[in-house]
Structure 1
C-alpha cells in the first residue's frame, strides 16, 4: 500500500479511500462479475479478477458519449498548470471519438462558472478563505461573504459548496451556480462553531388551516409533526416569509410576531397594488 501511494503521490489514507471507490467500478453490466474484486486489508493490494477485467470490451454509442462528456468535464475542471493530464484526456477523447465515429466534438457545459469552481477547489486544497459574491434566492439579494470551503456536494442535480461562513458565523451551503464572483482571501481558513447553531436559526409556529399535504412538503414537516399547530425552525426569515405567503392561507404564522407583522405588511402592499390597477 505504501509503495502504491508513493507511485500515485498521495497519502496511504487517500489511497485506501480511492481503492474503496474502485469497488463500485468495473465493466458495463454492473453485476458482481463485472465490478472490480479488490482486497487490501492486509496492506497488499490484490485484484482477484484482473484477467476478466483485462479482456477487451466494445463500448456502445451511449457508453462512448457518456465517457466523452465526462472527459470533457474533467478537462474543464483541471488546473491550468496540469498540461500532462489535459494531454492524456485529449488523447482519450480522440481515440473514443474515432471508435464511436463521432466527427464533431462533444461539449458538456456546466451550469456554473468554471472560474468559481476552480477557485473553490483551490481554496479547499490550500485551506484558504474565499470571498464570494452570492445571490441569495430567498431574499433576492446579492451579498459578499467570506467563507472557508470544506467540500463540494451534489444534491438534486445541483452542485453546492459546503463551507463555514465567517459572515454568518455558522456552517452554510451555497449553490455554486448562484455565486456571481469569487476571489481568494489572504487569510487562512479558521473554522469555529457547530454545524447547526441554535442561535442562527429561527423558531416559528404555524397554525394549519387547509391543504396540509402542501404545507407538510413546503415546510419539510414530518407526519409525526402534523397537528393543528406545529413548531419548527428555519435558517432564513426571508424563506419563512415567502413560504408562508406561498401557502396562500393554508398556513398561518403565529410566532414570531415580528415576522408575522412583516407578512401582514407585504400582503397589504400587494392588495393595494391590485386596488390601484
Structure 2
C-alpha cells in the first residue's frame, strides 16, 4: 500500500512539473490530497492523452485479481465514458502474453515473503525447467517484464521473463536469508575470447571495451548456454579459448549442424 501511495507522487496532469503533480500526504491511515481542486478541474484531452489513458486503464483491468469484479466494473465504466468522449473504440487495449493469474500469485508471494515453485521456459537453453525461487520484485526492461528473484537451483539471484513462466505455485515461507538483491553469483563462468573480426558486433554482444585483432579478451557469464549461443552467433568472428568444456560443447554442436546440412 505504501509503495502504491508513493507512486502517486509522480502522477498528475500533463506538464508534470511540481505545479501539476499530486501534492499528497499520508499518515495514521489517512491520505490527504492537498491540490485536489486543481486536479478535479475538467480538461480537454488530446488524442494522445486519451489513448494513453485507455491503454493504462486496460492494463489496470488486466492486472486485477479475478475476484474483484467491482473494481473491474468501475474501470470499464471509465473506459466506456472516455472512449465515447474521445470518439475512440472502447476495445483499445494492450495485448499481453503474461498470465495474469501467475502475476497476481507472485505479487502476493512478494508481499507475504513466500517462496514459489515455477515451471520456466529458458530462452538460452530452449528448455523447460522446474525451480524454486524467492521473488523480490518486478522490473521492466525494454518491452519485457522481468521477475528478480533468488533461485535455489542456481544458488544465486536471477531475472526471469514473466511471460516465460508457464506455471507457478506457493512453496511455503522463505527459509533462507539473502545478503542483498545485488549479490553476485558464486558459480559464475570465467572465459576468454580471441577476436578476429566484426569488432563492434562482438563488443556489443560480449560487453567488451577494448580489443585488437587476435587479442585475448576475458569475460564473465552466468550461463554456459548463453556463452555457447553467443559464440555460435558470432559466426567465426571470435574463438572461445577457455574453458575447455564449453569449447568441446561448441565443437560438438557445430559438427552436428554440419552433419545436418550434409544430410539435407
Which residue matches 1:93?
Answer: 79
Among 173, 185, 202, the residue aligned to 1:215: 202
Aligned to 1:188: 173
Q: In the alignment, is residue 134 of structure 1 matched against residue 120 of structure 2? A: yes
Contact 1:148 1:191 in 2 (8 A): no
Judge conservation of contact 1:148–1:190 (CA < 8 Å) in 2: no
Is 1:274 aligned to residue 264 of structure 2?
no
Question: RMSD of the TM alignment (CA)?
Answer: 2.6
In structure 2, list runs of 5 or more residues that go unmatched.
Answer: none
**Equivalent position to 2:247, from 248, 260, 274:** 260
Count of residue pairs brought into register by the alignment? 258
CA distance in 1, matches of 2:183, 2:259: 39
Q: Please state how far the C-alpha of 1:49 moved relative to its aligned partner.
A: 5.3
Please report how far the alpha carbon of residue 165 of structure 1 lies from its aligned counterpart in structure 2 after TM superposition.
0.9
| Partner Cα distance (2:185, 2:114) in 1 | 27
Q: For 2:24 and 2:112, locate their aligned partners in 1 and report how far apart those are by CA, in whole Å.
A: 32
Q: In the TM superposition, what are the counterparts of 1:158-169 in structure 2 within 5 Å?
A: 158-169=144-155
Q: Which residue of 2 aligns with 1:234?
A: 221
TM-score (norm 2): 0.86
Q: Distance in 1 between matches of 2:109 and 2:25?
A: 34
Contact 1:170 1:193 in 2 (8 A): no
TM-score (norm 1): 0.82
Cα distance in 2 for residues equivalent to 1:269 and 1:82: 53
1:207 and 1:252 in contact (8 A); partners too: yes
Please tell me whether the aligned partners of residues 164 and 191 of structure 1 are also in contact (alpha carbons under 8 angstroms): no
